[in-house]
Amino acid sequence: MSSLDAKEGDIIYQNRLSSSEDLRGWVMEGKGKVRFPEGRMQLENELDPEHYGDDAHFVYWCPETFPDEIIIKWDFYPVREPGLCMIFFAAAGLHGEDLFAPRLAKRRGKYPEYHSGDINALHLSYFRHKHHDERAFRTCNLRKSRGFHLVKEGADPLPPADDALPPYRMKLVKDRAYVSFSINGLPILEWTDDGRRYGPVYGGGKIGFRQMAPLVADYANFEVRRLLRD
């Protein structure tokens, strides 16, 4: 079953991401600026990466805890490069704790805190336009952490921001061991976790958007639905 074949069930969560009121309860880790210049959520780093390095990156979490067997969709608008975008999903503590449990180490946006800390997550980088080698040969990368395991790559069809004609509709399916991703109806990658090589299959958890500075990007129409069974 690809993301195109996934049948959409009831809405679990729906958010236009159009105002600060829409984002009540969302959690910023790191220093990110949130604005709405076009009636969409625009994310940008607050700290200058030339001076702050990895401290300039950030993650913005939806406060909801989502079940397994879901379809995640959102509109993406690249505004200014260079940079990188990523989505975390099925994120929880190593022992099943809520992602924001007090016993977990405080996270401030540095990447190692997310791939080698005290949380498990799947994370998909879908706009990798930060470093020269990423821009020269663009891929979408799916990783399973804890451990920073690259489990699947797919070609990235998104153009540079100056050539983009957004919105780009992203669709991510998490169905127990199976993950698939498409952009504007174009299949990008799919992967099935064997539950052995990189540890047990992950279930539900939190969803968050990560940006690497100095990228500026807009997001809208974030939606999570149950996966409908025949």
Report the chain's mean pLDDT, rounded to a whole number. Answer: 96
pLDDT digits (tens, 9 = 90+) for 185-206: 999 999 999 999 999 999 999 9
């700290």: which residue's tokens? 47
pLDDT digits (tens, 9 = 90+) for 88-117: 999 999 999 999 999 999 999 999 999 999
CATH architecture assigned to 8-227: Sandwich (2.60)
Nearest to 126 by CA among 35, 217, 48: 217
**pLDDT for the residue numbered 108:** 96
pLDDT digits (tens, 9 = 90+) for 158-188: 999 999 999 999 999 999 999 999 999 999 9
Q: Hey, where are the domains in the chain?
A: 8-227
**pLDDT for the residue numbered 127:** 95
d(CA 161, CA 206): 28
Query: Which element (helix H / strand E) includes 43?
Result: strand 41-45
d(CA 227, CA 21): 28
**pLDDT for the residue numbered 1:** 61
d(CA 123, CA 107): 16
* Residue 134 confidence (pLDDT) above 90: no
**Dihedral Cα 18, 24, 25, 28, nearest 10 deg:** 60
d(CA 225, CA 77): 22
pLDDT digits (tens, 9 = 90+) for 31-75: 999 999 999 999 999 999 999 999 999 999 999 999 999 999 999
- What average pLDDT score do residues 131-150 get? 90
d(CA 170, CA 146): 24
